Structure 1
Amino acid sequence: MQKSITFKKINISFSDVGKGTAIVLIHGFLENKTMWKYIAPSLSQRNRVISIDLLGHGDTACLGYVHSLELFAEAIEAVLKYLKLRRYFIVGHSLGGYVALTLADRNPDAIKGLCLLNSTSNEDDEERKALRIRANKMVQNNFENLVRMSFVNLFTETSRNAFREEINLALKEALKTPIQGYIAANEGMRLRPNQNHVLANNSFKKLIIAGKKDPVLSYEKSVEEASVTKTELKTLTNGHMSHIENLEELQDLLKEFVK
């Protein structure tokens, strides 16, 4: 069921389906809650699944020109408070993983388990920060081409051919993101701190799901991160968009994680 609440004078859009253990799904950059359209029904057979549109994405409006991780987390907290959820599992894809880490850092006792899906607790390196600055300048005059190029580059050539229809549908959703939402989220990601301590210092269930061919996040760094933070690592065969490229395996991994 699609719902919304008011947060700082804007609407936060979310869906809430199923009954049982609460699972909060947080999408990534240039995505929205529709990215979970095959994951949420699978999980909601035995659980209550909440999918939330982040600030500046989907049906949720922007709040200024920088969406910090703290601000993203505050918006999520407002939804969870409205739903009176005290404890829950949380799964975050890419940017959604950064937000999930921030939420867990602010509310560790509320977390039953945290899954980073194609995401990391590491901060951006200097090269990535510079790329974000450059992208935020370019996007103001060339939004559609930049989004198309960056989105397609998330997939290997093999995946582009194998999942052409799914990629086109996801790209259509990405192009609905307002320019302000793009810039505000990109800046928030650029400024985010290292969050290794959230994984290393908490006893809730922890999982990193990494793509072996991820063009955005180094698989080798994910292996190192899992070791350093004492977090379980599960590996999928493809890239950054596991909900498209490895859907069935991902469904099985998430069902096992929330048991």
Structure 2
Amino acid sequence: MAHTRPTLVFLHGFLESSEIWDDFLRDFPPHYRTLRPNLPGYGPEPPPAPDCSFEAAANYVQAQLRAEGMHEVLLVGHSMGGYVALAFAEKFPAQVAGLCLFHSSALPDLEEDRERRQRNREFLEQHGVAAFTKEFLKPQFSAAHRESMEHHLATLQRIGAAVPLETALGSMEAMAHRPDRRSVLEKATYPVLFIAGKDDKAVPLTKTHEESLLPDHCTVLWLANVGHLGFLERPTDTRKAIEGFAELVFGK
């Protein structure tokens, strides 16, 4: 049975799960339907994903939509979730009503990015996922929030520590070798929203600025004192931005 309420699909990032959206969506307008799947290999006590590619994840999301009777949706992808959203938009463009890249990018890794991921991979293999989260997560917050958001950091570390090592390594491999998907933005027949933190070390502002010029219809929300986790660092502003974007995409 098809659903008539406009639908937004929220896709989590690396070492995250659908739980990251719980507080963010608690007061989301009820006339929208929201779907927040755990990507393959993620979520409470998951088995490792047999295929951690973003193309496989896009197929998984499409199967979830089909099972729920959903067709045209607005995709919101945080970080790695944005890579999945772009893969989905490439494979199933007719199902995309709008695309929000939430601290994410269509650009592939540069050589220095791959070298960093290789160092991270070696750390993961030697020390495990729980130890890696303690090194990896705190720098994702803006320095303006690192001390005041220790409770959020603890939650993210708990979620990340539950991710199987094989999934973490597979996701890292997929990120290192993901293709250039700027063509998805260039061909987009739907509106695109970028949410960018001015203190985001993972997605530099120059990347977002370059990519924002590609779609026919694009909006960028630039946020000062925000790193890579705007849904925690500035939840009210980022939620309002997505609500406003949904109104643009679906109409009031």
TM-score, reference length from structure 2: 0.91
Q: 1:174 maps to what in 2?
A: 160
d(CA) in 1 for partners of 2:227 and 2:184?
Answer: 25
**What SS does the corresponding residue of 1:222 show, helix, strand or coil?**
helix
Question: Equivalent of 1:52, from 31, 34, 37?
Answer: 37
Q: 2:122 maps to what in 1?
A: 137
Q: 2:227 maps to what in 1?
A: 239
Q: Does residue 219 of structure 1 match 2:205?
A: yes
Deviations along 1:84-140, whole A, 9 cap, x unmatched?
A: 211111100000000000101111111110000000011111111111122222212
Task: Say if 2:142 and 2:228, in contact at 8 Å, map to a contact too.
Answer: no
**What SS does the corresponding residue of 1:213 show, helix, strand or coil?**
coil
d(CA) in 2 for partners of 1:114 and 1:222?
Answer: 14
d(CA) in 2 for partners of 1:53 and 1:125?
Answer: 28
Q: Does residue 63 of structure 1 match 2:49?
A: yes
Task: Say if 1:29 and 1:94, in contact at 8 Å, map to a contact too.
Answer: yes
What's the C-alpha RMSD, in Å, of the aligned pairs?
A: 1.6
Deviations along 1:60-96, whole A, 9 cap, x unmatched?
A: 43233x5111111111111111112111111000000
Question: Equivalent of 1:192, from 146, 163, 178?
Answer: 178
d(CA) in 2 for partners of 1:201 and 1:154?
Answer: 31
Query: In the TM superposition, what is the alpha-carbon distance from 1:44 to its structure 2 partner?
Result: 4.8
Q: Does residue 124 of structure 1 match 2:109?
A: yes
Amino acid at match of 1:243: F
Q: 2:189 maps to what in 1?
A: 203
Deviations along 1:203-246, whole A, 9 cap, x unmatched?
A: 11111110011011111221122124453211112110001101
d(CA) in 2 for partners of 1:86 and 1:146?
Answer: 38
Query: In the TM superposition, what is the alpha-carbon distance from 1:200 to its structure 2 partner?
Result: 1.0
d(CA) in 2 for partners of 1:145 and 1:182?
Answer: 13
| Map 1:36-51 → 2, pairs under 5 A | 36-51=21-36
Amino acid at match of 1:23: L
Q: 1:110 maps to what in 2?
A: 95
Query: In the TM superposition, what is the alpha-carbon distance from 1:19 to its structure 2 partner?
Result: 7.7
Question: Equivalent of 2:240, from 209, 227, 252?
Answer: 252
Stretch moving more, 126-135 or 103-112: 126-135
d(CA) in 1 for partners of 2:154 and 2:49?
Answer: 28
d(CA) in 1 for partners of 2:178 and 2:39?
Answer: 16
Query: In the TM superposition, what is the alpha-carbon distance from 1:56 to its structure 2 partner?
Result: 1.6
Amino acid at match of 1:138: F
d(CA) in 1 for partners of 2:59 and 2:246?
Answer: 24
Identical residues among aligned pairs (%)? 25
**What SS does the corresponding residue of 1:216 show, helix, strand or coil?**
coil
Question: Equivalent of 1:149, from 130, 135, 139?
Answer: 135
d(CA) in 2 for partners of 1:255 and 1:179?
Answer: 35
Moved over 4 A (4+): none
d(CA) in 1 for partners of 2:27 and 2:114?
Answer: 36
**What SS does the corresponding residue of 2:13 show, helix, strand or coil?**
coil
TM-score, reference length from structure 1: 0.89
Count of paired positions: 241
Q: 1:161 maps to what in 2?
A: 147
**What SS does the corresponding residue of 1:67 show, helix, strand or coil?**
coil
d(CA) in 2 for partners of 1:146 and 1:21?
Answer: 38
d(CA) in 2 for partners of 1:86 and 1:115?
Answer: 17
**What SS does the corresponding residue of 1:233 show, helix, strand or coil?**
strand
